[in-house]
Amino acid sequence: MVEHKRKTNVKASQAAVGEEQTGWIRAASVAELRNESRLMFRRRGRQIAVFQTADGILACNNRCPHEGYPLVEGTLDGACTLTCNWHNWKFDLTSGANLYGGDRLRTYPVEIRGEEIWIDISDPPFRVRYEEILTSLRDAFDDNAYDRMARELARLMRIGADPLDALREAIIWSHERLEFGWTHAYAGMADWLGLHAAHDGDPETQLVCLLESIGHVADDVLREDTYPYTTGTVDYDEQAFVEAIEREDEEAAAAMIRGGVHSGLDFADFEKGLVRAALSHYNDFGHSLIYVRKAEQLTAFLGSSVLVPLLLSLAREMIFATREDLIPEFQGYRSALDQWGKPPEAEILRAEAWDKLSVNRALELTVAHSRREPIRLYEQLLEVNARNLLCFDIRQQKKVRVPVSGNVGWLDFTHGITFANAVRVQCSKYPELWPQGLLQMACFAGRNAAFTDRDTALARWHVEDMDGFLTKAVDGLFDHGLDEYIVSVHVLKTLLAGREEIRAVSVQEIGKTIAAGLNRFINSPLRRKQVRRTVHQAVSFVEKE
């Protein structure tokens, strides 16, 4: 073992102009290195460590790629293994390989010219650096190593590459590892990309958007197996596609997606079929429609290279989605859909008329107003769901003796806003689908109403300065401090969907209700783990077996 010695700073002499241009610089004399066995010098903003080893004179970046501690203070053994003594990271000094599988160490070519040590600090060609970074990013992604992903993304940005390539790759790396298709990770990526575009010229904020996007995807597929899709192709047919989703036939749906893309179709050509399939049931409490909206945004940001993986995983999500309209709680949905537009035009009511109504009563009241202009009825139902968000009874989070159907929390209430946003956008494109969208908004209203407290001190959450509140709330996303992705992504999606709806509604009071609901959501305690409740429900379930 070669014992660690203190570093020695050596001032490099001025190299010839020709040598500077080629990247070769003088580091020190052989005699200077011989006296200390290691030294460090600074040049062009870099710190470079030089070591006398059994394999000759070797040079590397002095900053450990883990957290930047000085490697010249590390321990070097006879096998040229350099250990950073801060966190025990180990590197092969001859190649830069990380023996623990983390970031590689940058090493530099060395030449001895007479009695002087020269080092080539020129960067490798762009393509070499780009491929190295993506390879290392893939390793970090597979390990779900958040800090390391941040460093690789920063390196990608530093060399001038398109940093969105990292997200394109993440989708390709992950889509076959999502056993049940789309998750909130892809949906959140769409919103982060919107914020990324809005912060052009602010690289650190943009890096937050990229890191949170890829980090969530990595977290969702950590230690997951691969679940391949069919490689078959058939011509795309919208009706056949919707029917394939309905009968849960992934192979047929996937083959049509591949065939359609192969024939030159883009997202817009698939969109109506996806919206129809998403709204054919009260799918997964509205997630399917939300995801269609986000898929449109993702393909707009990332381009055609991600079209197939996004569509395949979206179709899989719809195939595995729960159909809530088939369970007793929402049994009135189908009959309400059949009655749409048949009752005579009803008196216009305020949103408060839906307060505390059951699902079936909320559906009935919505049908009674089905002759109204859809966008006006939409705004009423949006306000109803915003009022529910504002009035969520947070005591529900502490209840223990509740049935499984009572496992309702803040995140369930946020879906009323994000789903509403998707309904407005998609049903405005395909007006014949307004009945499904509006009735499913009524399902949200009725389901959540049972878990509200109308005695909530609503005035406390009133927002006076709307623009100031939204700006501050969105700025808070970039350092949210929430350790669960499922929580942070709901804050992200709800806040941005709410902001979009505030700007879209025609009645100012509705916007104020949305803002107050958002204000209460992001500033109230959110309990995720229910230990006592889980145990109580388990015991109750087993006793009845």
If asked whether residues 316 and 330 sit together in one domain, one would say: no
Beta bridge partners of 51: 38, 58
If asked whether residues 253 and 339 sit together in one domain, one would say: no
3-state helix, strand, coil in the chain (%, to 5): 60, 10, 30
Give the residue from 166, 190, 221 where a domain finishes: 221
pLDDT in tens, 397-441: 999 999 998 999 999 999 999 999 999 999 999 999 999 999 999
3-state secondary structure of 234: coil
If asked whether residues 386 and 516 sit together in one domain, one would say: yes
What is the rounded distance in angstroms from the CA atom of residue 311 to the CA atom of residue 327?
A: 28
DSSP string, 430-459: SGGGHHHHHHHHHHHHHHHHTTB-TTS-GG
Give the residue from 92, 120, 148 where a domain finishes: 120
3-state secondary structure of 25: strand
Identify which of 441, 415, 428 has the alpha carbon closest to the alpha carbon of residue 497: 415
How many domains are contained in the chain? Answer: 4
Q: Is residue 7 situated within a structural domain?
A: no
Backbone angles phi, psi at 3, to 5 degrees: -65, 145
Give the residue from 286, 304, 322 where a domain finishes: 322
Residue-number span of the structural domain to which 62 is assigned: 17-120
DSSP string, 450-505: TTB-TTS-GGGG--S-HHHHHHHHHHHGGG---S-HHHHHHHHHHHHHHHHHHHH-
Dihedral angle over CA of 278, 384, 533, 491, nearest 10:
70
If asked whether residues 282 and 402 sit together in one domain, one would say: no
If asked whether residues 377 and 457 sit together in one domain, one would say: yes
If asked whether residues 377 and 316 sit together in one domain, one would say: no
If asked whether residues 348 and 429 sit together in one domain, one would say: yes
pLDDT computed for residue 43 by the predictor: 86
Chain centre distance of CA 289: 17
Cβ neighbours of residue 188 closer than 8 Å, sequence gap 6 or more? 212, 213, 216, 485, 488, 489, 492, 493
3-state secondary structure of 350: coil
Beta bridge partners of 295: none
Under-70 pLDDT residues of the chain: 1-22
If asked whether residues 334 and 285 sit together in one domain, one would say: no
If asked whether residues 305 and 340 sit together in one domain, one would say: no
CB 500 within 8 A of CB 456: no
3-state secondary structure of 425: helix
**Helix (H) and strand (E) counts in the chain:** 21, 10
pLDDT computed for residue 255 by the predictor: 98
3-state secondary structure 382-401: HHHHHHHHHCECHHHHHCCC
Q: Which region holds residue 37: left if phi is over 0, alpha if psi is between -120 and 50, else beta? A: left
Q: Is residue 451 situated within a structural domain?
A: yes
Identify which of 469, 465, 473, 472 has the alpha carbon closest to the alpha carbon of residue 494: 473
What is the rounded distance in angstroms from the CA atom of residue 301 to the CA atom of residue 403?
A: 43
CB 192 within 8 A of CB 213: yes
Q: Is residue 109 situated within a structural domain?
A: yes
Find tokens 């940093």 and name the residue.
Answer: 163
Report if pTM > 0.85.
yes
